[in-house]
Amino acid sequence: MRTKTFKGGVHPPESKNLSKDKKIERISPPPELTVPLSQHTGAPCRPLVKKKDKVEEGQKIGDHDAFISCPVHSPVSGEIISIDKFPHPTLGEAEALLIKWDGGDRKNWDSEDVDLSSLSPEDIRKKVREAGIAGMGGAAFPTHVKISPPPEKKIDTVILNGCECEPYLTADHRIMLERHEDCLFGLKAIMRATGAKRGYIGIEDNKKDAISLIRYSTEAENSIEVVPLRTKYPQGGEKMLIKAILGREVPSGGLPLDVGVVVSNVGTAVAVAEAIKKAKPLIERVVTVTGSGVSNPSNLLVPIGTPIRYILDLCGIRENARAIIAGGPMMGISQYTLDAPVIKGTSGILVLTEEEIIQDKEKPCIRCARCVDHCPMGLLPTTLAKLVKAEKWEMLGEFNIMDCIECGCCSYVCPSKIPIVQLIKWGKIEYRKITSRG
């Protein structure tokens, strides 16, 4: 198989066998759910309900007028117990609605046959916005914003991201196998909304079954093509994906739409399809629960707001489990509490054991430049890390610090075990401060 790729990157052990053959199972909701008002990039929602209000499954319970924002919906029917600060998987703590499930039957979201050509791009954008869809690959950027390019930016291509380059995670893989028709419907809807003529589905070549299935089901489509990509992290980074498939480089500081492209995760495409066909908002998502600290690694369809604790009770957690990570091992965030909920961007819950956690002592940099050779953005990570340590903030711009995509390849390969990407993230914050001050 001919595979395309980008320069740099790393090959961590894939560790996907734990869960890649486990079918997606829909779990029953927990007794109580914590639904954060901010699960996306942009303005946090304001609650539309009060304490003690009764809510329906799928009812909008939070929204905001800002363009870059994304409403939230109740995943279950029940009652609002409180609106307060609760643990949050990426923000540490944030305002959320605590909802008590009434134990009633779950709603049947009936599917209608929809002819996309009968919908205008504006109709699609509206449906996507009202469904509260945010990118489900991790960054959780509101999808209706992504598919509303300014008129001067002509979009010619939509790429569905089925790379799932993070080790361990298999949610997107299962989605492509089990929901390929919705993936394609979602892709076509996004193409219609953006006016793009070409659609690609980029899949790493460690998912041969997904590649052949989707190839088979797109045989009749002239405008859609499956592109096998080399299994390499961070192949699913949107800049790397666009480069690999189209050979276009998103300019420094720019967005995919600057090169005429919109990239969307396959899970997001399924959510778009459900929003259009079923008028179903984004209230549940597929989460890979995995790692050697889990007794039964699984791919679960989980209501948004389900606490990690509830999910780990279902899958079983081993005695030697020691660290819980929301997301994949390369970019995921380690959790301080099991009370943090699954949100729209939570693709996995990874449980690492005592033996697997890394407590290496940092050593001096030996300037081996492995980080330079593996950086997919062509940066000098060790130089940036040294400048950050020396607090030479003003020099960071010379070395293009803001181009860093925080993939963590530099920290992964560093033989001196220097937390390079962490230092760079700090440097970006400080650099932003001095540049915004002018």
Partner 1 sequence: MEKVLFLSPSPHIKDRMDVSRLMWDVIFSLLPAVGFSVYFFRFKAVGLYLTCIFFSVLSECLFLKLRRREFPKEPSAILTGLLLAMVLPPSIPLWAAALGAIFAIIFGKQIFGGLGYNIFNPALMGRAFLMATFPVLMTTWINPFTLDVVTSASPLGLLKFHHQLTPLWSLFWGNVAGSLGETSAFALLVGAVYLLVKRCIDWRIPLFYLLTVLVFSSVTFLLNPAYGSPLFHLLAGGLILGAFFMATDPVTTPIPKLGRIIFGTGAGVLVMVIRLWGGYPEGVMFSIIFMNAITPVLNRYIKPKSFGGKRS
Binding site for partner 1 (CB under 8 A): 10, 12-13, 167, 239, 243, 249-252, 254, 317, 319, 321-325, 329-338, 350, 352, 356-358, 360, 363-370, 372-373, 376-380, 382-383, 398-400, 403, 408, 411-417, 419, 421-422
Least Å from the CB of residue 345 to partner 1? 14
Least Å from the CB of residue 153 to partner 1? 16
Name the residue with tokens 């500081």: 253
What amino acid is encoded at 50 in this protein? Answer: K
CB nearer partner 1, residue 92 or residue 104: 92
CB nearer partner 1, residue 248 or residue 432: 248
- d(Cα 313, Cα 301) in Å, to the nearest integer? 15
Q: C-alpha 149: how far from its chain's center? A: 21
Least Å from the CB of residue 284 to partner 1? 26
Is residue 41 packed enough to be buried (19+ CB in 10 Å), middle (13-18) or exposed (0-12)? middle
CB nearer partner 1, residue 54 or residue 367: 367
CB nearer partner 1, residue 6 or residue 185: 6
Q: Tokens in use for 363? A: 């050593």
Least Å from the CB of residue 212 to partner 1? 29
CB nearer partner 1, residue 297 or residue 376: 376
In terms of DSSP H, where are the helices of 247-289?
266-278
For the beta carbon of residue 223, count every other beta carbon within 10 angstroms.
15
Backbone phi, psi, residue 276, to 5°: -80, -45
Q: C-alpha 254: how far from its chain's center? A: 20
CB nearer partner 1, residue 21 or residue 362: 362
For the beta carbon of residue 240, count every other beta carbon within 10 angstroms.
27
380 and 398 Cβ atoms separated by less than 8 Å: no
CB nearer partner 1, residue 279 or residue 369: 369
Tell me the Cα Rg of the chain. 21
What amino acid is encoded at 399 in this protein? Answer: F
Least Å from the CB of residue 169 to partner 1? 13
Least Å from the CB of residue 325 to partner 1? 6
CB nearer partner 1, residue 279 or residue 372: 372
Q: Both ends of the chain: CA-CA distance in Å?
A: 51
Least Å from the CB of residue 379 to partner 1? 6
Least Å from the CB of residue 419 to partner 1? 6
Instruction: Find all residues with CB under 8 Å of 16, minimum gap 6, and list them.
Output: 167, 168, 169, 170, 173, 206
Q: Tokens in use for 75? A: 């995943």
Closest of 235, 261, 231, 257 to residue 246, by C-alpha: 261
